[in-house]
Amino acid sequence: MKARVLHPWRVSHARAAGIQDALRPRLVAAPLPKEPRLVAGADVAYSRRTHRVYAAVVVVELPSLETVESVGVTRTATFPYIPGLLSFREVPSLIEAFERLSQAPNVLVFDGQGLAHPRRFGLACHAGLLLDAPSIGCAKTRLVGEHGPVPDRRGASAPLGVDGETVGAVVRTREGVNPVFVSPGHRADTESAVELVLALAARYRLPEPQRRAHHATVALHARDRDRPAARVRTYPDFVPKRPR
DNA sequence: GCGACAG
DNA sequence: ATCTTGTCGC
């Protein structure tokens, strides 16, 4: 699938936040495709020692849940991890992986937030918008928002709200296991996102495509253990302790 | 100033 | 997320 690149990735933190504000109005809220045939899961692993990033996208076919395609991309990080600016760290590698797919998935699932973000523009929103595909975020922990108790039974959920507005839901995919934070990305809505996550996570905590992408990411990292340690990175806004 | 803070 | 060894519970 082809992505539309509208902005550079090596930008200041202030400009990154500005880009998120500028792109947010382009997001489309809509129910996800009824019975998607292809669902992609995406995840990224890192090596702190080498500053390498390992991105993976796994496409599964429904209703069989068979893996039909898998792509891995390894790069050097060009942006640091900053809460609220995760997409600037992960999207470049993920976009490259998605562009190598032989066929476009019907829905994309990202390991991170969608609308449940300080500026309502998390990783799933950013990636989904650039790829112009229905997308949702399925994060393992909270970034923003408040929610009531989530009954300890598979299928239970509670709205995730940010000052009066529902930005997603906290969903229990397995009894006795921490719930996941689901929120719409592009061309999605909370209700259909929650239903898709529950359909894809029948046996494990995370949706199957995302879970397999995570495994792929760990494998990529493991296969790259011999890389020499990298020198200090020069990320945007980076300021050395002892200026030269 | 203090606490929170996806991966 | 990564680094890193062992340990608790189904």
In tens, the pLDDT along A91-145 reads 999 999 999 999 999 999 999 999 999 999 999 999 999 999 999 999 999 999 9
Dump pLDDT digits (tens) for A148-177.
999 999 999 999 999 999 999 999 999 999
- Rounded CA–C1' distance between A80 and C8, in angstroms: 35
The reply to whether A16 has its C-beta less than 7 Å from any atom of strand B is no
| DSSP letter for each residue of A156-199 | -EEEEEETTEEEEEEE-SSTTS--EEEEE-SSB-HHHHHHHHHH
Dump pLDDT digits (tens) for A33-73.
999 999 999 999 999 999 999 999 999 999 999 999 999 99
Reference A192, options A184, A200, A202; nearest CA is A184
Lowest mean pLDDT among A16-20, A158-162, A171-175, A225-229: A225-229
Structure-token pair, residue A146: 């408040």
| DSSP letter for each residue of A129-152 | HHHTS-EEEEESS-SS-B-----S
Q: Which residues touch strand C (CB under 7 A)?
A: A 45-49, 140, 218, 221
Which are the contacts of A194, defined by CB distance < 8 A and separation ≥ 6?
A157, A169, A171, A182
Q: Which nucleotide is nearest to A183 (CA to C1')?
A: B6
Q: Which nucleotide is nearest to A82 (CA to C1')?
A: B5
**Predicted confidence band at A241 (pLDDT cuts at 50, 70, 90)?**
low
- What per-residue confidence (pLDDT) applies to A123? 98
**Predicted confidence band at A243 (pLDDT cuts at 50, 70, 90)?**
very low
- Rounded CA–C1' distance between A26 and C4, in angstroms: 44
Q: How far apart are CA A44 and CA A135, in angstroms?
A: 16
The reply to whether A44 has its C-beta less than 7 Å from any atom of strand B is yes
Q: Which nucleotide is nearest to A176 (CA to C1')?
A: C10
Strand residue runs (E) in A48-155: 52-61, 66-76, 107-110, 135-139
In this model, does residue A83 exceed pLDDT 60? yes
Task: Show which positions of strand C are touched by protein (CB under 7 A).
Answer: 1-3
Structure-token pair, residue A131: 């790829």
* Protein residue minimizing CA–C1' distance to B5: A83
Q: Which nucleotide is nearest to A45 (CA to C1')?
A: C1
Q: Which nucleotide is nearest to A221 (CA to C1')?
A: C2
In this model, does residue A231 exceed pLDDT 90? no
Percentage above 70 pLDDT, chain A = 98
**The domain A29-221: what is its CATH number?**
3.30.2170.10
Reference A146, options A134, A159, A132, A136; nearest CA is A159
Instruction: Tell me if the bond preceding A149 is cis, omega within 30° of 0.
Output: no
In this model, does residue A242 exceed pLDDT 80? no
- Rounded CA–C1' distance between A20 and C5, in angstroms: 41
Query: Which of chain A's residues 212-241 bind strand B, using a 7 Å CB cutoff?
Result: none
What residue type is A98 in one-letter code?
F
Helix, strand, or coil (residue A72): strand
- What per-residue confidence (pLDDT) applies to A67? 98
The reply to whether A85 has its C-beta less than 7 Å from any atom of strand B is yes
- Rounded CA–C1' distance between A47 and C2, in angstroms: 7
Dump pLDDT digits (tens) for A205-222.
999 999 999 999 999 999
In this model, does residue A244 exceed pLDDT 70? no
